[in-house]
Amino acid sequence: METKDKIIVDGVSFFYSSNRVIDNVNAKFKTHTLTAITGPSGQGKSTLLGMFNGMWNDTPGARCTGEIQIRLGGRWVSPLKKEIPMPLLRRKVAMIFQEPNPLPMSIAKNMAFPLKLAGIRDKNIVQEKVQRALEQSFLWKEVKGRLEESALNLSGGQKQRLCIARALVLEPEILLCDEPTSSLDAKAAGVIEELLVSLKSNCTLLVVSHYMDQVRRIGDQVMALEDQGLKRI
Amino acid sequence: MQEVLEKLAVFLSWTMTLVLCLCLSIFLIYLLIKGLPSFGAELIFGKAEPLKVLLGQARVFDGIFPAMVGTFFLVLLSAVLALPVGVCSGIYLAEYASPVMKKLFGSLFDILAGIPSIVIGLFGFSLSIFLHNHFSDRFGPCLLISALSLAVLVIPYIVRSTQMSLEELPSDIRRTALALGATRLQNIAYVLIPNALSGISSGLFLAIGRCAEDTAVILLTGVVATAGVPSSLLSQYEALPFYIYYISSQYSNPAELSNGYGACLVLLGICSVLFMFAYGLKKHLSYRTLYRV
């Protein structure tokens, strides 16, 4: 294994009951890079992302074969072999979704939520981490005066940046983004694109997107999931 | 043609809703007309001094106060016994059970929901006899046995409403906390249950209504015509549904029948209070579990 590799996918196939969704995928993803994954709808792009942090685990009838190795904290672990507890894996391999999904509570409480789940309750540490994550997400200046307001009052783009900030608060090593701009207008999408590119210094990013121009703009490498296989383009 | 069908569908659904509201209004107005003349302190306290009754210094012999207290405690106790069991089972079925177990337990709960209440009452009666014969003479048909039997009767409603309201949550909500590193238990406690509270409380409302109206179960498990205010969980008690049944089948003059209608109004009032209590609980819980995280 090369030292710069962050994720190695070796002969991975994915099935829903007897239906093969992904067939024998092989790929390598380097540390501190942004890989954009594109392809037609229904080819399993979201499923592929979910395999890196075990989001498919509780889906009835779902089955995965092959091997995935992820380097976390200098140690190689296999999420498919469940060598690491799923909550711990998901704190290090964070994920954001197509639709921004802030919880119906204040901006501050949304941000502190993952820290409380992880058992971090020291107010000073929480405050410091929340501010840092909001700054990384270009959101601090916009919300610093209204942290106690409901997160549901934010605009679509701000909500998505809040969700990215909420994922970053746990300082993940990998950030999985499932079509993060598809529900946003062009201006808000542009801000998110810029934000994702800036996050490369902190973590490794895998971004699924439908838009070819977008993936070429932001991706260090671009891959297409077609005919159940992953190809570099 | 399609347009006519559309209009017909709208007209039919509107008419049916109107008919339903009309029926409910007629029912309530009829109850009010029949029950209001007898409604008053005398219906509740009879000839006893209300203040002395409330302070426990006098007993009511010819009013429905003991039946009101009995009904209130019966419904409350049944709900308290049924709620944790029902909600936990619903959570298991929705979140942890394998498809096979889900099918198996789901069928069992459906069968339980279909058992006639008189059969549950007989089961409760047999349980009281068993406890009396094998444990202590103090056991017999009583408030506790009635509440236990009613809890068995209403548990399926709570299980199914909890299960369905959890299963119907969209995947966006389901995976939010999981993707942030929540354990399954944290996800259930912090996100899923607060979001499903509305459905869960609907099951509780149904359960409360069923507990308050059921007569067959309590008939066999502890209710009597003249027991006074229940002094303990092991004492016999009076209840409004039984009073209404008794007075409407045994009345000797129109005034007594009017008392029965008055008791119906009081029973509806008690149910409303319990519904409001359940609604308040729902609001309080959603605030405490979700917004204070």
N residues, chain A: 233
The number of distinct structural domains making up chain B is 1
**Residue A135 clears pLDDT 90, i.e. is over it:** yes
pLDDT at A185: 85
Cα B62 to chain centroid distance, Å, stands at 27
Residue B28 maps to a domain: no
Q: To 10 degrees, what angle do helices B254-286 and B65-91 make?
A: 40
In whole angstroms, give the CA distance from residue A90 to residue B286: 26
Residue A64 maps to a domain: no
Residue A3 maps to a domain: no
Residue B282 token pair: 């729902």
Contacts of residues B32-39 at CB distance under 8 Å and 24 or more positions apart, as own/partner, are B32/B265, B34/B258, B34/B261, B35/B258, B35/B261, B35/B262, B35/B263, B35/B264, B35/B265, B36/B262, B36/B265, B37/B258, B38/B255, B38/B258, B38/B259, B38/B261, B38/B262, B39/B262, B39/B265
Reported as half-sphere exposure (CB side, CA atoms, 13 A), residue A37 has a value of: 26
**Residue B293 clears pLDDT 70, i.e. is over it:** no
Residue A83 amino acid letter: E
Residue A118 maps to a domain: yes
For residue B204, the enclosing domain spans 62-291
∠ CA B216-B269-B75 to the nearest 5 degrees?
40
| pLDDT digit string, tens, across residues A38-95 | 988 878 888 889 999 988 887 778 888 999 999 998 889 998 888 889 999 999 999 9
The number of distinct structural domains making up chain A is 1
> Which B residues in the span 11-40 are in contact with A, Cβ-Cβ below 8 Å?
none
How many Å lie between the alpha carbon of A56 and the closest alpha carbon of chain B? 10
The contact set of A with B (CB < 8 A) is: 53, 55, 58, 60, 87-88, 90-91, 94-97, 99, 101, 103-105, 109, 113-114, 116-118, 166-167, 170
How many Å lie between the alpha carbon of A117 and the closest alpha carbon of chain B? 6
Inspect the interface and report whether the beta carbons of A87 and B182 lie closer than 8 Å. yes
Residue B57 maps to a domain: no
Looking at per-residue pLDDT, the higher value among B17 and A217 belongs to: B17
Residue A179 maps to a domain: yes
Residue A203 maps to a domain: yes
Contacts of B183 in chain A (CB under 8 A): 87, 117
Residue A177 maps to a domain: yes
> Which B residues in the span 183-202 are in contact with A, Cβ-Cβ below 8 Å?
183-184, 186, 190-191
In whole angstroms, give the CA distance from residue B84 to residue B96: 17
Residue B18 maps to a domain: no
| pLDDT digit string, tens, across residues B175-191 | 899 999 999 999 999 88
Residue B132 token pair: 């009396």
How many Å lie between the alpha carbon of B186 and the closest alpha carbon of chain A? 7
Q: To which residue do tokens 């299963």 refer?
A: B167
**Residue A220 clears pLDDT 70, i.e. is over it:** yes
Residue B34 maps to a domain: no
| pLDDT digit string, tens, across residues A190-206 | 889 989 999 998 899 99
| Nearest alpha-carbon partner for A133 in A160, A157, A169, A162 | A169
Contact predicate A36/A219, CB 8 Å: yes
Residue B292, φ and ψ in degrees, nearest 5:
-95, 0
Instruction: Over range A97-104, report the average pLDDT.
Output: 89
Contacts of B289 in chain A (CB under 8 A): none
Contact predicate A133/A107, CB 8 Å: no
Q: Is B137 on the interface with A (CB under 8 A)?
A: no
pLDDT at A226: 79
Contact predicate A34/A208, CB 8 Å: no
pLDDT band at B67 (very low <50, low <70, confident <90, very high): very high
pLDDT band at A228 (very low <50, low <70, confident <90, very high): low
| Nearest alpha-carbon partner for B30 in B246, B292, B258 | B258
Report the CATH number at residue A37: 3.40.50.300
Contacts of B186 in chain A (CB under 8 A): 87, 117
Q: To which residue do tokens 């319990």 refer?
A: B274
Inspect the interface and report whether the beta carbons of B293 and A166 lie closer than 8 Å. no
Can you give B167-230 as a three-state secondary structure string? HCCCHHHHHHHHHCCCCHHHHHHHHHHHHHHHHHHHHHHHHHHHHHHCCHHHHHHCECCCCCCC
Which residue of chain B is at minimal alpha-carbon distance from A110?
B293
For residue A107, the enclosing domain spans 30-50+86-232
Residue A185 token pair: 């207008």
In whole angstroms, give the CA distance from residue B163 to residue B149: 22
Contacts (Cβ under 8 Å, ≥6 apart) of A233:
A222, A223, A224
Q: To which residue do tokens 């067959």 refer?
A: B216
Looking at per-residue pLDDT, the higher value among B166 and A214 belongs to: B166
Looking at per-residue pLDDT, the higher value among B287 and B109 belongs to: B109
* Cα dist from B21 to A224, B16, B18, whole Å: 58, 9, 5
Contacts (Cβ under 8 Å, ≥6 apart) of B86:
B154, B155, B156, B157, B158, B159, B162, B203, B207
pLDDT band at A1 (very low <50, low <70, confident <90, very high): very low
Residue A41 maps to a domain: yes
pLDDT band at A132 (very low <50, low <70, confident <90, very high): very high
| pLDDT digit string, tens, across residues B243-253 | 999 999 988 88
Residue A1 maps to a domain: no
Report the CATH number at residue B172: 1.10.3720.10
Query: What radius of gyration do chain A's Cα atoms show?
Result: 17
